[in-house]
Amino acid sequence: MASLAPTAAPTGAAGTHRIAWYLGAGLVGADIGTSVFYSTGVLYPHVGGLAPLFILLVCGALFLFKATYQEGCAVNPLNGGAYSMVMQTLGRPQALVVGSLTILSYLATAVVSALSGAFYLSKVPALAFIAQSPWGVATVAAVPVMVFAALNLLGLKESTRVVFGIAVFHFGMLLVMDVWGLWLAFTEGAHWSRLWTGFGSVTPMAVAIAFAAAFLGITGFESAAQIIEEIEHPNWEAIRKIYTLIVIAVAATSPLTSMLCIVLLSDADLHTFHDAFLSGLAFREGGTWFLYLLVANACLTLFAAVNTAFAGATGLMTTMGKQGNLPGVVLRQWTERSPRLRGFPYVVLPFMALCLLMLAAFPGSVERLGEVYGIAFLSVMISYCLGVILLRLYQPAKVARAPRVSAWTFRLASGCDVPFAPVVGGALLTLAAAVLILTAHEARALGLQLFLAVLLVMAFYRLNRLEHRMVQLPDLRLGLGKYRRMEPLPSLPVHVLCAARVADTLLVTEISHILKTRGPDIEILIFHAEEQHQQEGTVSEGLERLISQQLEEFYEGRDMILSAKALPGNLVEVLPEYAKSRRLARVYVSTGHDEAASEALRVHLANEMDVEVDRLLDSRLPKGPGVWFEQWAQGTRHRDRKWHPDDDGPLPAHHDDDQD
pLDDT 10s digits, 120-157: 887 777 777 776 777 888 888 899 999 998 888 877 88
Confidence of residue 467 (pLDDT cuts 50, 70, 90): low
pLDDT on residue 23: 92
112-116, 403-407, 431-435, 459-463, range with the lowest pLDDT: 459-463
Confidence at residue 637, expressed as pLDDT on a 0 to 100 scale: 41
Strand partners, 613: 587
Among left, alpha and beta (phi > 0; psi -120 to 50; other), residue 232 is beta
pLDDT digits (tens, 9 = 90+) for 8-35: 333 333 334 688 999 999 999 888 988 8
Largest CA distance in the chain: 105
| Chain segment 89-99, per-residue pLDDT in tens | 887 778 888 88
DSSP for 307-346, written as a single string: HHHHHHHHHHHHHHHHTTSS-GGGG--STTT-TT--S-HH
Q: What is the pLDDT of residue 587?
A: 92
Query: What pLDDT score does 15 carry?
Result: 39
Q: Does the CA dihedral 291-124-255-167 come out positive or negative? A: negative
| Mean pLDDT along residues 332-361 | 76
* Cα dihedral 102, 106, 111, 112 sign: positive
Q: What is the per-residue pLDDT for 382?
A: 94
Query: Other CB atoms closer than 10 Å to residue 381's CB: what's the count?
Result: 29
- In angstroms, the CA 348 to CA 80 distance is 16
Asked if residues 130 and 137 have their Cβ atoms less than 8 Å apart, the reply is yes
The H or E element that residue 565 is part of is strand 560-568
DSSP 3-state of 415: coil
CA angle 313, 444, 305 (to 5 degrees): 30
Which range (260-264, 368-372, 544-548) has the least confidence?
544-548
Asked if the model's pLDDT at residue 300 lies above 80, the reply is yes
Question: DSSP E strands: which ranges in 511-555?
Answer: 523-530
23, 447, 401: which is closest to 223 by C-alpha?
A: 23
User: How does DSSP assign 378-411, residue by residue?
Assistant: HHHHHHHHHHHHHHHHH-HHHHHHSS---S-EEE
Q: What percent of the chain has pLDDT over 90?
A: 23
| 250-267 CB burial, b ≥16 within 10 A, e <16 | bbebbbbbbbbbbbbbee
| 490-509 tens-digit pLDDT | 889 999 998 766 666 777 87
- What are the tens digits of pLDDT across the range 51-90? 999 999 999 999 999 999 999 999 988 888 899 888 888 8
Would residue 326 be called left, alpha or beta, if left means φ above 0 and alpha means ψ between -120 and 50 degrees?
Answer: beta
Mean pLDDT for 591-601 is 75
Segment among 36-40, 108-112, 184-188, 656-660 with least mean pLDDT: 656-660
Question: What are 373-395's pLDDT values in tens digits?
Answer: 888 889 999 999 999 999 999 88
Task: Check if the beta carbon of residue 214 is closer than 8 Å to that of residue 39.
Answer: yes
Mean pLDDT of 180-186: 94
Listing DSSP states for 464-504 in one string gives THHHHHHHHSPPEEEEEGGGTT-SSPP---EEEEE-SS--H
Q: What is the CA radius of gyration of the chain?
A: 29
Q: CA 295 to CA 289: how far, in whole Å?
A: 10
Mean pLDDT of 632-648: 43
CB 291 within 8 A of CB 125: no
Binning pLDDT at 50, 70 and 90, where does residue 6 land? very low
Q: Quote the CA–CA distance of 507 and 488 in Å, as a whole number.
A: 26
Phi and psi angles of residue 470, each rounded to the nearest 5 degrees, phi first: -65, -35
Q: What is the dihedral of CA 232, 238, 239, 241, to 10 degrees?
A: -150
Please say if the pLDDT value at position 636 is more than 60: no
For the chain, how many residues are written? 660
Q: What is the pLDDT of residues 193-211, one digit of tens each?
A: 888 876 777 888 888 988 8
Q: Which of 392, 513, 469 is nearest to 75 (CA)?
A: 392
Among candidates 254, 232, 314, which has minimal Cα distance to 25?
Answer: 232
Is pLDDT above 50 for 526? yes
Structure pTM? Answer: 0.76
Q: Among 303-307, 344-348, 545-549, 636-640, where is mean pLDDT lowest?
A: 636-640
What DSSP state is assigned to residue 7?
A: S
Q: Tell me the per-residue pLDDT of 398-454, one tens digit each, with 9 for 90 and over.
A: 888 888 888 888 888 888 889 999 999 999 999 998 998 888 777 777 777 777 777
**Does position 626 have pLDDT exceeding 80, yes or no?**
no
- SS3 of residue 2 by DSSP: coil
Phi-psi region of 519 (alpha: psi -120 to 50; beta: other; left: phi over 0): left
Average model confidence (pLDDT) for the chain? 80
Per-residue pLDDT at 375: 86
pLDDT band at 285 (very low <50, low <70, confident <90, very high): very high
